[in-house]
Structure 1
Amino acid sequence: MKEPITAGVCDGATESALAKDWARLLSRSVAEHAMKRPELLAGGTAFEEFAASAVAQWDPWLLQYTQARVAEGRPLKWYEHTKLAEGAFATLLTVRVDPDPGPGAGIDVEEAEPAWHWRAAALGDSCLFHLRDERLVQAFPVGDADEFGTVPDLFGSRNHDAALLACRTRFTEGRCRPGDRLFLMTDALAAWFLSAPDQKVAVHQLLEFSGPDDLSGFVDWLNSLRDRRQLRNDDVAVVRIDFEGR
């Protein structure tokens, strides 16, 4: 990988209206902004400007949605208007990965191999896991299954207090080398992973079923975990980034 990449995972809060649509808009927006302005992953003014920009996109999107509903002959009901006035809510997790130039033009001098630098931001309980040699190197922002709660911090589509959103967002960074992997997961799968009695077995399952070419196998695996009550019955999203030599 010679160019930076970004990815975002946002989990809509089911109790809010159009949460899935807001999560989709938010994840795309944060990934695009992180590509253009990597400094937002350090917090501060850059993150506040992203937050304000994301919220500003909601009302225009909602207007188009409302007009489409009218055109389809199914305008919003009164109770939908009431719910939409409260806004939509979602967690936020994004990561940007850059080739690490280092003093050796992309080579880690100490380890004499390619290296990459990643930075991440999280609001709520969607999680990033950094794996090396099939072992967990770092978990962010939740490090223990007992830390998952029922009311995580959320990014609201009508929250115009960008400074508050930035204050509640956590930031971290790390470095990867060939063979490492990053996983971005929504809370249900992240909680399963952190609570697994044998994490090595859990890692092997993730690697077996999280590839891009077998969606049906991934769904069957998730359903088997739910049937055994090992995975909470909730939506699941996962992004996997594998690091190979250049």
Structure 2
Amino acid sequence: MIPASGDRVLRLAVRTAAKRDNRPEENEDSAGGRADSGRFAVSDGASTTARADVWSELLTDAFINGDDPLAPDVLGALRQQWWERVATPGLAWHAREKLHRGSAATFLGVRVDADGYLVTAVGDSCLLHISDGRLVLAAPLDDWTEFSRFAELVHTTPDTPVPPEHVRSASGPLSDGDILLLATDAVAKYLLRHHAETGGLPPLIEHVDDDDRFADFIERAREQQELDDDDSTVCVVWA
């Protein structure tokens, strides 16, 4: 029986840095993966919504553990889980009122198998496929000017479904030595803008071996006004 990711030996690193001056627990991004099953995901919680950190985590965890968080039955169960986790006893009335307005987040899931990879996405978290140092695919967005404050989102409120046209997909072959870089919007926009202006990518991947190196790299990019001051998260997969 062929493993979920084929005969490939996959390796991954997950790194994140909160907005400048925010505490780590205020980071509303989530990311993770399982090399054995070839499932990887990132999600960017919308900061204007309630407990977006919890919602983004539920979406990524569901995908990593084998479910499709966009399937109606799974999405319904995740919405119930979100409410049960955030509606704790003793909340002030204004906090509970915000919870009733719900939460929202982008979602990007990548499935690697023997034939290659498949991307499923809602919003502007992106996959960049790098082969021999070259960017060969970016999805669902491939132009840094397409990023805006109004990304498509997955909502917790039952009366806000995910329209089929908001679900984007892409796929491609994967060769040994290739890199799949999943990134939330700030990092994806930064990488695509750098690529558009220079024809290459900044050396972010060289700085994901530990949390401090990644945080230092992100802060330098922010200081140079190349990277927006937003939660910045990557899941890097080496084939």
Q: Which has the greater radius of gyration?
A: 1
Q: Which residue of 2 aligns with 1:7?
A: 40
**1:32-111 to 2 correspondences below 5 Å:** 32-34=65-67, 50-67=71-88, 70=89, 75-100=90-115
Q: Can you give the 5+ residue segments of structure 1 that lack an aligned partner in the other structure? A: 35-39, 41-46, 101-116
Alignment partners' CA distance in 2, 1:56 and 1:28:
13
Query: 2 CA distance for matches of 1:20 and 1:161?
Result: 19
Query: How far apart are the structure 2 equivalents of 1:132 and 1:64?
Result: 41
The residue type equivalent to 1:242 in the other structure is W
1:210 corresponding residue in structure 2: 208
Matches of 2:102 and 2:143, distance apart in 1: 30
Going from structure 1 to structure 2, the CA distance change for 1:179 and 1:158 (only over 3 Å counts) comes to same
> In the TM superposition, what are the counterparts of 1:188-203 in structure 2 within 5 Å?
188-196=186-194, 197-202=197-202
Q: How does 1:104-143 map to 2 (within 5 A)?
A: 117-143=116-142
CA distance in 1, matches of 2:75, 2:53: 15
Alpha-carbon distance in 1 for matches of 2:211, 2:130: 22
DSSP 3-state at the match of 2:40: strand
- Per the alignment, in what secondary structure is the counterpart of residue 149 of structure 1? coil
User: Do 1:4 and 1:99's aligned partners in 2 also have CA atoms closer than 8 Å?
Assistant: no
Q: Which amino acid aligns with 2:211?
A: L
Task: Give the TM-score normalised by structure 2.
Answer: 0.79
Distance in 2, matches of 1:64 and 1:146, equals 36
Q: 2:13 is matched with which residue?
A: none
1:29 aligned residue: 62
The 3-state SS of whatever aligns with 2:228 is coil
Q: Could you tell me how far 1:207 is from its partner in structure 2?
A: 2.0
Contact 2:51-2:86 within 8 A present in 1 as well:
no
Aligned-pair CA distance for 1:206: 1.8
Paired position in structure 1 for 2:143:
144
One-letter amino acid of the structure 2 residue matched with residue 240 of structure 1: V
In the alignment, the residues of structure 2 paired with residue 137 and residue 7 of structure 1 have an alpha-carbon distance, to the nearest angstrom, of 19
Structure 1: 4+ residue segments shifted above 6 A: none
In structure 2, runs of 5+ residues without a counterpart are 8-35
Q: Find the counterpart in structure 2 of residue 44 from structure 1.
A: none
Deviations 1:144-197 (A, max 9, x none): 1111111010000114565x4433101111111111110000000001001113
Question: Tell me, what secondary structure is at the counterpart of 2:65?
Answer: helix
Offset at 1:91? 0.2
166-175 vs 83-92, greater mean Cα deviation: 166-175
Query: How much has 1:237 moved relative to structure 2?
Result: 1.1
- Larger RCO, structure (CA 8 Å, separation 6 or more): 2
Higher helix share: 1
What amino acid is the match of 2:128?
F
Give how far 1:60 is off.
Answer: 3.7
Percentage of matched positions with identical amino acids? 30
Aligned to 1:168: 166
Q: CA deviation at 1:64?
A: 4.0
**TM-score (normalised: structure 1):** 0.77
Q: Which residue of 2 aligns with 1:223?
A: 219
